[in-house]
Chains A and B, each alone.
Chain A
């Protein structure tokens, strides 16, 4: 049986992992290779690296990070942030990433999804969606530019459109829940997961192991992503998995 996946997300800026300050046991808490190895040993099923570099130079270094991580990591990893073209995708995937995640660029030019999917296969193309509930819309609205810009897209319409164009997976972040640690947005996750034929990764709001169970059982998510609760050691991948196993959720 296919297991539910637990995915830590690492923010990378100018080639270094930021926000990983609680890893006192590591020689260098900002080294992507060391952090990747740490999560691998903890039982992470996959990793996501989010490039938050603002400068061009910073963006160039992500390729070196990908190469270094790919050389040491024996689990799949996705790279997102600032990928705007097929050329960007080629660079990242050839350096050894298994998947790329597209967000704003895909909304601005949806053909990018087709291009990436046709060239590399749907399994390489993750569409990241940031969504916030909108009273006027009576549903969740898709935002771009790191959640700063509202779009015309309703979340389920956009998710379906992305999958039709060749997305192999949806990384769904609830802006309403993000950072609150009160749990994933179950209604949003369930709505999108039931609307598309590809796996959905729930993101935003994880505070403890029970939240992952809710996302999988009620939210119908295929995977759960979290950043700060793992980085700040509020819980660990191992603890979450032990809990899920006790609850009868199939994990690795």
Chain B
């Protein structure tokens, strides 16, 4: 059973519908006690980093997520939910994140090395380039997925499972132990997105059986 964290931000409906299409049971909650019963957690979200962290803190969901992960639980952050996994973000002045994966979240400069401007947000379909093996990309080929974001994670390459190129190398799938993040929206990325979510569900089911 997947628990989707509701902290008042993001399109929970599309994530839960995505899981439903895969035949997975899920529930949406803002209560740490309820969420602790989940065999895997998804942290979705769109919007601003600082607002998201203060909402998580208000519900004590930040402490809960750290404890959940320390206890071996699987966590998948999507879009802003992935950015929250890092140490800090420069969005609206530095704001602290969950520090589950080392790194910080920075803005696209909108200006390339030749001083040519490019569009921000990074919006649309971009191709994944696989960097490291991970259970979430097992059996899959490098395909296009749907991105919408103005900030990206600046992190060590060892945590980058897959990236996409948009002037800079954009970490698209990150992972550290039982924590995973996807900068794009798997629930909006057609068949490829569904396959990625399926792989995460398989991991969680494996834990359920174990």
Say if the beta carbon of B99 comes within 8 Å of chain A: no
Q: Are B121 and A123 neighbours in the complex by a CB distance under 8 Å? A: yes
Say if the beta carbon of A40 comes within 8 Å of chain B: yes
Q: Are B123 and A93 neighbours in the complex by a CB distance under 8 Å? A: no
Q: Are A3 and B121 neighbours in the complex by a CB distance under 8 Å? A: no
Most buried by A among B21, B119, B144, B166: B119
Q: Are B14 and A96 neighbours in the complex by a CB distance under 8 Å? A: yes
Q: Are A95 and B123 neighbours in the complex by a CB distance under 8 Å? A: no
Q: Which of A45, A96, A123, A197 contacts B148 (CB 8 A)?
A: A123
Cα–Cα, bound, A169→B120 (Å) = 10
Cα–Cα, bound, A123→B11 (Å) = 12
Q: Which B residues are in CB contact (< 8 Å) with A98?
A: 11, 14, 188
Q: Are B166 and A74 neighbours in the complex by a CB distance under 8 Å? A: no
Q: Which A residues are in CB contact (< 8 Å) with B144?
A: 3, 252
Q: Which B residues are in CB contact (< 8 Å) with A54?
A: none
B44 CB, min distance to chain A CBs, angstroms: 13
Q: Are A96 and B124 neighbours in the complex by a CB distance under 8 Å? A: no
Q: Which of B117, B124, B188 contacts A5 (CB 8 A)?
A: B124
Say if the beta carbon of B50 comes within 8 Å of chain A: no
Q: Which A residues are in CB contact (< 8 Å) with B149?
A: 123
Closest to B127 in A: A1
Chain A binder among B28-36, B68-76, B172-180, B190-198: B190-198
With A70-B14, A74-B194 as given contacts, are A199 and B123 in contact (CB-CB < 8 Å)?
A: yes
Q: Which of B121, B165, B193 contacts A122 (CB 8 A)?
A: B121
Q: Which A residues are in CB contact (< 8 Å) with B148?
A: 76, 123, 168
A171 CB, min distance to chain B CBs, angstroms: 13
Say if the beta carbon of A124 comes within 8 Å of chain B: yes
B104 CB, min distance to chain A CBs, angstroms: 20
Q: Which A residues are in CB contact (< 8 Å) with B146?
A: 75-76
Most buried by A among B48, B120, B122, B123: B123
Say if the beta carbon of A146 comes within 8 Å of chain B: no
B91 CB, min distance to chain A CBs, angstroms: 11
Say if the beta carbon of A198 comes within 8 Å of chain B: yes
A252 CB, min distance to chain B CBs, angstroms: 4
With A74-B193, A98-B11, A169-B123 as given contacts, are A121 and B47 in contact (CB-CB < 8 Å)?
A: yes
With A98-B188, A122-B121 as given contacts, are A74 and B21 in contact (CB-CB < 8 Å)?
A: yes
Q: Which 4 A-B pairs have the closest CB atoms?
A: A123-B148, A252-B144, A96-B13, A252-B125
Supply 10 A–B pairs (Cβ within 8 Å), ascending by A.
A2-B123, A45-B124, A75-B146, A76-B146, A94-B13, A95-B13, A98-B188, A168-B123, A168-B148, A222-B119
